[in-house]
Each structure stands twice: as structure tokens, then as C-alpha cells.
């Protein structure tokens, strides 16, 4: 790469970075599930629940939030929102009868990225960020989102919406707000397919304190009712087999280990609804969801069989043969509830991860079990009472409610997966080197480029690399003040021109056939200010602190989070997002259960084979943003001492592209 003219920030040598040694591989033997059992008590403490339920009000009494119109210019008159008005008309229809309706971001599988036809919250509110919850009452409309999206929401919401800055002082949660604005006896409607069972249960309990009722609307989604013909069609892209040289483990072996786990917990079957878990377990990949190589499907694995619920039109002959070899039967995607009902009616002990399986499935199962127990009395008494959600007081089957064992097994990458991740990162680094050389030359030649132009050109370079499939998320290309919008998305007609005299933040990633990448670089093409230099240096110090960290086994990610923030804290600065997330191998760019975050509820320890991002940052609203991100592989470190006789762990970089140096 050509050097930047400024003496303030220069790129490192590409040669030094690309000569990094190859990843050492560790032994990986079956069974892959048995080693990672999670007790119900740990599961209950660390399970993931939605943003709108976990962020608490910091003040007492009635709380209010400013409408988005007060945060924006030229919005003096509040105009009615036609979509919201149409939605409210449905509230009083027969069979509905509600006073409020909640529209979350998720699809029926609690996915982060979803197909366009399921982007109901974005459709009704106009806010396109990936995280948020909309609530419409008969006379109000409010949207909750977190600190990553405050600036974006201010720009996108119309004056008829109230922006709730979740986590900020004095801002209520969804349930607190509903309890405040609805009269006792009010009815709150939800689509139970779009809420995990845990989220729906917590919401129900929270609003019942003010005598509000949660209403499950199974048969229709109210947003779909007003979206009508303009709603995009569900995806119908063909599924493909993920080759063994990339998967590293065949389907039969994965299913065998999972079935052994079922027997150990007393379950007769497990319901899998997370799309990446289905894809990983069956060594399949799809393209139903933007940026994520997954397909819309449910999977039920029984002790003596398995059923995949998927649109049959997506199944090619190769995939059909692949599934037959693994003894997996096909069922229609929309027949999942009838199968759950059938299993419950037989008294089957279903393993359900209630933090991810939707409320429609769980409630259908419980209803069927109630009928079974009523018909059979005390027969078939459950042996493993510790898994009984009612503390063992009921008789007969009652279900196994624990975190899915697939989540952790998938997070611990095998040698083939790690090799694929390293190989794709090398190709990705080559594309990035070509791109940054191009961009630097264009900027120095005074070529006017928009943020969209830059993102499109990066895609062009990546698309030429072997095995490229898609971006792993929408590229964040932000110049100057736009870099302060943590999940900014540049759009034609409204984006900025890249200013050589301002910091430029580029967060991007790719999906390759053998792996997934995610990298952020912040650069300056001229002379940064003293403030920008200091902030960049402190973010870089935090990045290096994580990169060089050595820690004892069984250390959860939140312990390391302070390492990244320490230098910023010393001058009273911070950032409103986690420091690191798990990354899938040729799968979702965000995966659990591991993370490096200030959210200390996640007690999952970092373990050998996990992949995490390292991305501290700092954002000065309306001025600039800084973030530096690499992907890291957790590996054993050969320390001179082994205090306590335990292993010590650290990180090996997967990202091979250099960072600009600030001095």
C-alpha cells in the first residue's frame, strides 16, 4: 500500500502482516456435545433476552421521552402516519380487541438479519436499524433502540413517533411504558411467532402488575394485514450442501452426539429453531437471509429420527440425497405447529431452548401436554424432575427447558473450520489491500467519492476473490460525523462525500464458501486534529490490550471487556457497544454464546476454538467515529507457570490487514 502523505497516521507494512504464522490446530474428538453440558441453573442466569425487556428505568415514578421531532430540525408540525393509522383500525376488529400492539425486529427464528418480507418493524416505523422494538397504542407510537442507533433513528423516524433511547437515564422499558400509558384491563397484542417464549413470559409478567393482559394473535400478523400485496414474497432460493472439507465433521456424527445428549437429559426429541444451528448441524447452507448463509427451516431431532421443516422447492436433488444419507425426513415449513401438537399429544419429552424457540411453539406444546396429562392421569410420570418447569409438582411429561447444546458445540471450531477461516481471511486481506491502495490514490487525485461509491468498490474487489458469496453485513462506510453513527448505512442520495480532511470509518465483512470475515479500519487521509489523534491512540491501546491478553481457562468474556476500555476511561470516555462478539465459520457473522462485553450476565467462558471480534471504539456525536476491529481465535498459551494446574488462554489473529499507526 502507498503511504499516506500525513505524518500523523501511516499504514504498517503489508509484508509483515501477511507473513504471520499459520494457526495451530488442537485435537477435536467426539462426542462434541457431551463435554459441554449446561445445568438449568446456569442457563437461567445467562440466557439471552431481548433488549426491550432487559433495560430498566433508572428513575422512579412516571417517565417520559421526547418525540423524535424535538431532536430534528424542520419538524414543527406532527403529521399523521398512514401506516400507523391503518394498524390502529385493526385493533377493534372481531377476534382482535386490543389496545396496543408490539412489533419486534425478529422473525420466527429470532434472527438478527431477516428476509425482507419479515422486516415488519422497519415497514411500520421507517427505522431500518437491525435492533429495535416498535409499540403502537390507540394514540401513541414509540420505538425503542440502543445506543448504536440513536442518531440513525433520529434521522429516520417521522414526527409521529417517540424515540425511546433504551438504557438512557429516565427512559422506561416497553413494559414500564405500557403500564404507564394504558388503563388497567388493557390488552396488549403480539404475534407469538416473533417472540421467544422467555421474552413473552417476562413481558406477560411485567404488564400483569398493572392488570394488563398479553394477547397472542396466532392466526394473523397485523402489520402483514396492512402491508398486503406490496409485501415482498418469502425467499425461495435453493439450499446447498456445505462440503466436508469445510465442515470438518459429517452430519451422522453430529446427530449421534446430539442424540446421546438427549438420552442423558431424559428428552425424546429436541426442537431447533435457530437458523444457523439448523445449517451447522445438517452441513447445509442457504441464501434466504441477507448476509447469512442460512435457510428458513425448523429441525426436530428425535432419538430414532429427524425431520426438517422447510419449503420443499428449495431442496435440490443433491440436498435430498444428502439428507437421506443422514436419515432426515422432509416436512412442509408451515406444518411445524401440527407436528409439535402431535408430539405433545403423545407425551413426548421435548427439549426446548425457551430463550430462542418462539412462544407459539412452546405454548402449543404445553397445551398438547396438558391434554395428554388430563387423558392419562398420573401415568408416565417424569423421571428427571429437575427439568420440570413447574419444579416437579406436576405429573407426567413436562418438557426439558434448557439452552440448546448446539450453540456451544458450533462455537468451538474444529480444525477444518479454523483452516477455512484462516484461508478466507488471507484472500479477504488481499482484496482489502487492493481496495485501500485504490482509495488512497483516488483521494490524493482529488476524485470525489461518496460513501456508497467506496462501499461498492470494496464489494467489487472482494467479489473477484475465490469462494466469495456475499457481504456478511451491510458495509458501514462513514466519513466524518457519519462515522459516529455506530451502525451507519450510507444510501444513495443522502450519503456524504468522503472528506480527506476527516476521519473515515469502514466496517465490512464477507461470506466466503469456507469462512466469514469482519474487519473495521479507521483512517485519515490528511492531518488529524490533536483530539482525533488522542482518541485514536486510546482506542488502539484498548485493541492491543485485548489482542495481547492472557487469561486462565474458564474466564468469561466480560472479564476482558475492561481491558479495552481502560485507556478511554482514564480521560472519561467510553463507547456504547460490546467489545467483541462470536463469529461463525461460513455462518452468521454474529453468533453466541460467547462475547466480550460489559454485559456481565453472559458467564460463558472463552474456550479453545472460539472465534471473537476485538473492536473497541470511540464516537463523538456529530463529529467523528473510531473503531478498530480484528477477528481472533482463542488458543492455549504456553505460559512459564501454570498456577492452580490450569490452562492459560490467549488469542491468535485471523485478520491479516494492517492498522494505521497514529503518532
Same domain, 281 and 403: yes
Band the pLDDT of 16: cuts 50, 70, 90: very low
Band the pLDDT of 80: cuts 50, 70, 90: low
Same domain, 364 and 416: no
Question: What CATH number does residue 90 fall under?
Answer: 3.40.350.10
Same domain, 226 and 259: no
Mean pLDDT of 173-188: 96
Alpha helices in 512-632 (DSSP H): 530-547, 558-569
Question: Residue 492: inside a domain, yes or no?
Answer: yes
Band the pLDDT of 501: cuts 50, 70, 90: very high
Same domain, 476 and 600: yes
Q: What is the pLDDT of residue 630?
A: 98
Q: What is the pLDDT of residue 71?
A: 43
Q: What is the pLDDT of residue 40?
A: 37
Band the pLDDT of 396: cuts 50, 70, 90: low
Question: Residue 605: inside a domain, yes or no?
Answer: yes
Confidence (pTM):
0.85
Band the pLDDT of 420: cuts 50, 70, 90: very high
Q: What is the pLDDT of residue 30?
A: 38
Q: Which residues contact 641 (CB under 8 A, 6 or more apart)?
A: none
Same domain, 439 and 536: yes
Q: What is the pLDDT of residue 386?
A: 39
Q: How far is the C-alpha of 294 from the C-alpha of 288, rounded, in Å?
A: 6
Same domain, 464 and 515: yes
Q: How many domains does the chain have?
A: 3
Question: Residue 391: inside a domain, yes or no?
Answer: no
Same domain, 503 and 626: yes
CB-side neighbour CA atoms (13 Å) of 509: 28
Question: Residue 7: inside a domain, yes or no?
Answer: no
Question: Residue 660: inside a domain, yes or no?
Answer: no
3-state secondary structure of 503: coil
Phi first, then psi: give them for residue 11, nearest 5 degrees: -75, 155
Same domain, 290 and 369: yes
Same domain, 177 and 293: no
Torsion angle of the four alpha carbons 199, 204, 209, 213, in this order, in degrees rounded to the nearest 10: 150
Which of 230, 259, 291 is a domain's end point?
230
Q: How far is the C-alpha of 580 from the C-alpha of 391, rounded, in Å?
A: 36
Average per-residue pLDDT in the chain? 87
Question: Residue 663: inside a domain, yes or no?
Answer: no
Q: What is the pLDDT of residues 552-597, one digit of tens each?
A: 999 999 999 999 999 999 999 999 999 999 999 999 999 999 999 9
Question: Residue 34: inside a domain, yes or no?
Answer: no
Q: Which comes out higher in pLDDT, residue 57 or 647?
A: 647
Q: What is the pLDDT of residue 600?
A: 87
Band the pLDDT of 167: cuts 50, 70, 90: confident
Same domain, 225 and 286: no
Q: How far is the C-alpha of 190 from the C-alpha of 178, rounded, in Å?
A: 13
3-state secondary structure of 529: coil
What is the domain range of residue 98?
80-230
Which of 230, 263, 290 is a domain's end point?
230
Same domain, 572 and 623: yes
Q: Which comes out higher in pLDDT, residue 61 or 260?
A: 260
Low-confidence winner among 408-422, 486-500, 606-620 (lowest mean pLDDT): 486-500
Question: Residue 2: inside a domain, yes or no?
Answer: no
Q: Distances in Å between the alpha carbon of 224 and those of 118, 123, 191, 233, 329?
A: 9, 10, 11, 12, 31
Question: What CATH number does residue 465 fall under?
Answer: 3.90.230.10
pLDDT at 24 over 60: no
pLDDT at 654 over 50: yes
Which of 204, 230, 256 is a domain's end point?
230
Q: What is the pLDDT of residue 79?
A: 58
pLDDT at 281 over 70: yes
Same domain, 305 and 403: yes
Amino acid at each position: 500500500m502507498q503511504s499516506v502523505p500525513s505524518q500523523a497516521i501511516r499504514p504498517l507494512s503489508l509484508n509483515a502482516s501477511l507473513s504471520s504464522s499459520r494457526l495451530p490446530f488442537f485435537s477435536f474428538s467426539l462426542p462434541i456435545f457431551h463435554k459441554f453440558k449446561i445445568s438449568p441453573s446456569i442457563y437461567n442466569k445467562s440466557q439471552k433476552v431481548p433488549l426491550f425487556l432487559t433495560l430498566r428505568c433508572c428513575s422512579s415514578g412516571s417517565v417520559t421521552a421526547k418525540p423524535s421531532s424535538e431532536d430534528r430540525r424542520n419538524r414543527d408540525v406532527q403529521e399523521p402516519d398512514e401506516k400507523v393509522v391503518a394498524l390502529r383500525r385493526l385493533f377493534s376488529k372481531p377476534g382482535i380487541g386490543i389496545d396496543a400492539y408490539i412489533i419486534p425486529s425478529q422473525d420466527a427464528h429470532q434472527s438478527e438479519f431477516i428476509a425482507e418480507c419479515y422486516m415488519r418493524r422497519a415497514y411500520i416505523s421507517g427505522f431500518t436499524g437491525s435492533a429495535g422494538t416498535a409499540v403502537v397504542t390507540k394514540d401513541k407510537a414509540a420505538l425503542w433502540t440502543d445506543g448504536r442507533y440513536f442518531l440513525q433513528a433520529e434521522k429516520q423516524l417521522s414526527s409521529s413517533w417517540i424515540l425511546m433511547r433504551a438504557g438512557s437515564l429516565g427512559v422506561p422499558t416497553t413494559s414500564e411504558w405500557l403500564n404507564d400509558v394504558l388503563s388497567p384491563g388493557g390488552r396488549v397484542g403480539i404475534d407469538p411467532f416473533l417472540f421467544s417464549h422467555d421474552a413473552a413470559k417476562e413481558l406477560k409478567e411485567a404488564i400483569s402488575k398493572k392488570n394488563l393482559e398479553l394477547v397472542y394473535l396466532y392466526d394473523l400478523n397485523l402489520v402483514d394485514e396492512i402491508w398486503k400485496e406490496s409485501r415482498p414474497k418469502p425467499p425461495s432460493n435453493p439450499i446447498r450442501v456445505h462440503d466436508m472439507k469445510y465442515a470438518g465433521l459429517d452430519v451422522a456424527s453430529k446427530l449421534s452426539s446430539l442424540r446421546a445428549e438427549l438420552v442423558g437429559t431424559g428428552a425424546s426429541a429436541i426442537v431447533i429453531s435457530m437458523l444457523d444451528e439448523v445449517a451447522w448441524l445438517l452441513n447445509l447452507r442457504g441464501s434466504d437471509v441477507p448476509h447469512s448463509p442460512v435457510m428458513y427451516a425448523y429441525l426436530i431431532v428425535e432419538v430414532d429420527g429427524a425431520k426438517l421443516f422447510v419449503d420443499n422447492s428449495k431442496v435440490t436433488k443433491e440436498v435430498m440425497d444428502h439428507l437421506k444419507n443422514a436419515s432426515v425426513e422432509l416436512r412442509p415449513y408451515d406444518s411445524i405447529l401440527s407436528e409439535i401438537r402431535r408430539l405433545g399429544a403423545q407425551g413426548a419429552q421435548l427439549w426446548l431452548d425457551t430463550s430462542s424457540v418462539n412462544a407459539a411453539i412452546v405454548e402449543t406444546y404445553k397445551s398438547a401436554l396438558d391434554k395428554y396429562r388430563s387423558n392419562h392421569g398420573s401415568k408416565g410420570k417424569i423421571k428427571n424432575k429437575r427439568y420440570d418447569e413447574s419444579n416437579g409438582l406436576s405429573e407426567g411429561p413436562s418438557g426439558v427447558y434448557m439452552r440448546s447444546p448446539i450453540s456451544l458445540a458450533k462455537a468451538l471450531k474444529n480444525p477444518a473450520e479454523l483452516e477455512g477461516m484462516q484461508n478466507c481471511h488471507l484472500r479477504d486481506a488481499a482484496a482489502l489491500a487492493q481496495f485501500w491502495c485504490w482509495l488512497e490514490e483516488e483521494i490524493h487525485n482529488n476524485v470525489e467519492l461518496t460513501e456508497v461509491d467506496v462501499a461498492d468498490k470494496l464489494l467489487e474487489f472482494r467479489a473477484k476473490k475465490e469462494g466469495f458469496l456475499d457481504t456478511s453485513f451491510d458495509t458501514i462506510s462513514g466519513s466524518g460525523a457519519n462515522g459516529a453513527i455506530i451502525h451507519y448505512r450510507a444510501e444513495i442520495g443522502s450519503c456524504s462525500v468522503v472528506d480527506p480532511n476527516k476521519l473515515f470509518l469502514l466496517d465490512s465483512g464477507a461470506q466466503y464458501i469456507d469462512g466469514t470475515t469482519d474487519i473495521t479500519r479507521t483512517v485519515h487521509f490528511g492531518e488529524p486534529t490533536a483530539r482525533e489523534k488522542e482518541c485514536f491512540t486510546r482506542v488502539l491501546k484498548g485493541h492491543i490490550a485485548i489482542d495481547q491478553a492472557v487469561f486462565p481457562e474458564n474466564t468469561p468474556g466480560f472479564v476482558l471487556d475492561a481491558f479495552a476500555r481502560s485507556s478511554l476511561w482514564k480521560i472519561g470516555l467510553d463507547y456504547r457497544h460490546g467489545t467483541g462478539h462470536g463469529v461463525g465459520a461460513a455462518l452468521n457473522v454474529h453468533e453466541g454464546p460467547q462475547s466480550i462485553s460489559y454485559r456481565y450476565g453472559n458467564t460463558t467462558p472463552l474456550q479453545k476454538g472460539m472465534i471473537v471480534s476485538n473492536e473497541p471504539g470511540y464516537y463523538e456525536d456529530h463529529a467523528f467515529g473510531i473503531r478498530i476491529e480484528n477477528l481472533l481465535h482463542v488458543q492455549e498459551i504456553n505460559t512459564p507457570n501454570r498456577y492452580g494446574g490450569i490452562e492459560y488462554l490467549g488469542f491468535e489473529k485471523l485478520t491479516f490487514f494492517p492498522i494505521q499507526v497514529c503518532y
